[in-house]
Amino acid sequence: MNRRLLAAVAVFVLFGLAGCTTIFGADVDDPEALSEEAEYNFDTDRDAFITVNRDNYTAVYNTSASATGDEGTMELWRTNRLTIEQPLELYGLQFRYDNGTTIRYIEGEPMRIHQDGTTEPTDSLSVDNTRRRTIVDLPSADGQLAYTTPKTGKRIAVYAPVHGSYEIALPPDTDAALPLLSQVRPSNDDREEVGDRVHLQWDEVDTSVVVVRWYLDRDLWLFGGLVVIAVIAAVGGAVYYYRQIKQAEKTRKEEGFDIDIDDDGDDGPPPGMG
């Protein structure tokens, strides 16, 4: 094996082991990350409620509507630029029972927090991962699972772990209403403005992925300005072209190039020959 091939293999392996942006995935069950503080909208009546922030998005899922994983688990993943599945990175993992009791990680250990404030250790909420997916062992089939995961750019692709109703709150002062600047797949059934956020809503999602790409409100003004400039340029070009044609016609007439031919259908002899 030559040196170039060895070097290429070494780079590939290092790239694969480098972390969450690689094809080998990341250490998604990091207790410190799972213990991060986070706030979630558990009061939603949607099967999935996602809030998009600047560097991450939070998700709250109704576990009884789970569509991925074996019984008692939920599988979470994303894809890289090569469309290869990778485990989803989780921060601030929490589970909420229907009675209000929650389980969340505190200093790396899952703790059950009762409504009266008392806590007790538990191992009923745990996280593991394969090379392609994050697997969450759920304490119950009835409840809500919540987590935070990083994102970059003005687009998210959520590989839907549950079926049913969805709601996605876009970042403040953004929108996804103009197809030229945004993308929503599948198309949302409704939308609502809540404060400075636009909420996209679906009555029923049974696809494997929900994709939303948005734009800043100021991008719309910039796009509108570019459209106006383009229209003005097009009108100006048309006027200039029209004037050039008229000038050419005038020049032809002045120089005698335009000859009017009387074609009235008279086939008689030329003048003086009749």
Q: What is the pLDDT of residues 57-68, one digit of tens each?
A: 999 999 999 998
Read off the pLDDT of residues 109-160 as tens digits, 9 standing for 90 and up.
Answer: 999 999 999 999 999 999 999 999 999 999 999 999 999 999 999 999 999 9
pTM across the whole model: 0.74
Alpha carbons 160 and 248: distance in angstroms, whole number: 65
Torsion (CA) 40, 175, 45, 150 in degrees, nearest 10 = -30
Q: Which amino acid is at 65?
A: A
Do 88 and 77 meet the contact criterion of CB atoms below 8 Å apart? yes
Instruction: Examine the pLDDT at 233 and tell me if it is beyond 60.
Output: yes
Name the pLDDT band for 10 (thresholds 50, 70, 90).
very low
Give, for 218, the enclosing helix (H) or strand (E). helix 217-254
Averaged pLDDT score across all residues of the chain: 84
Cα(109)–Cα(164) distance, integer angstroms:
32
pLDDT of residue 34: 97
State the Cα–Cα distance between residues 74 and 61, nearest whole angstrom: 10
